[in-house]
């Protein structure tokens, strides 16, 4: 069962930090791991795991990420429209891109976008460069995306009138 899950999901460790706590006998070290998990077909989630060993922290983060998976709108390996995601002081500007241009973004944003299954995108991190906030801002931005069907339904028009983007 464990081997099937590894082939089924894209798991990316974004950051591993060693944190220390000063106690009477000296320092106690533990690790925190930020992980993103996705299926490459429009679903992804992020999780943070903390433990005394790196492997255990990554495992905990992966479990949390699998429980927190959300569905995102993907259109022809990119996104339908430009969006700005915000979390704390971090902002991420995400724009659709032409086929073959690849993922042009920072490491934290790139990991989330690859896990979702987006192949062509332009992203710019603005404000804070805190990895945790950038990941959450990216997720926030991807949640704001509306599909052409949703917009057509709101405007009460056929989808063909709305979908004018031709990359």
> Pick the residue with more confidence: 165 or 17?
17
How far is the C-alpha of 55 from the C-alpha of 62, rounded, in Å?
Answer: 11
End of a domain among 38, 70, 102? 70
- CATH number for the domain spanning 32: value is 3.30.160.20
| 109 falls within a domain | yes
How far is the C-alpha of 102 from the C-alpha of 94, rounded, in Å?
Answer: 13
How far is the C-alpha of 90 from the C-alpha of 100, rounded, in Å?
Answer: 28
Over residues 129-162, the pLDDT tens digits come to 999 999 999 999 999 988 877 778 888 888 777 6
Q: Are residues 20 and 55 in the same domain?
A: yes
pTM of the shown model: 0.86
Which residues form the domain of 20? Answer: 2-70
- CATH number for the domain spanning 144: value is 3.30.230.10
Over residues 45-85, the pLDDT tens digits come to 999 999 999 999 999 999 999 999 999 988 888 898 899 99
Q: Are residues 83 and 9 in the same domain?
A: no
Q: Are residues 66 and 78 in the same domain?
A: no
Which residues does 80 contact at the CB level (< 8 Å), separation at least 6?
73, 96, 145, 146, 147, 148, 165
Residues of the chain with pLDDT > 70, as a percent, come to: 92
End of a domain among 10, 39, 70? 70
End of a domain among 34, 54, 70? 70
Which residues does 12 contact at the CB level (< 8 Å), separation at least 6?
35, 36, 37, 111, 114, 115
What's the total number of domains in the chain?
A: 2
Give pLDDT, residue 5: 46
């Amino acid at each position: 069962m464990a081997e099937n899950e590894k082939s089924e999901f894209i798991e990316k460790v974004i950051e591993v930090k060693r944190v220390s706590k000063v106690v009477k006998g000296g320092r106690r070290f533990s690790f925190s791991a930020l992980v993103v998990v996705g299926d490459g077909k429009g679903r992804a989630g992020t999780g943070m795991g903390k433990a005394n060993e790196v492997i255990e922290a990554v495992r905990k983060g992966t479990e949390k990420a699998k429980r927190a998976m959300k569905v995102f709108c993907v259109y022809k390996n990119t996104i339908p429209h430009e969006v700005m995601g915000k979390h704390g002081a971090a902002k991420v500007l995400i724009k659709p891109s032409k086929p073959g241009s690849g993922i042009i973004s920072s490491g934290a944003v790139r990991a989330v976008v690859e896990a979702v299954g987006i192949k062509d995108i332009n992203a710019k991190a603005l404000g804070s460069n805190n990895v945790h906030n950038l990941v959450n801002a990216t997720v926030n931005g991807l949640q704001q995306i509306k599909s052409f069907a949703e917009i057509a339904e709101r405007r009460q028009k056929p989808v063909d009138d709305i979908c004018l983007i031709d990359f």
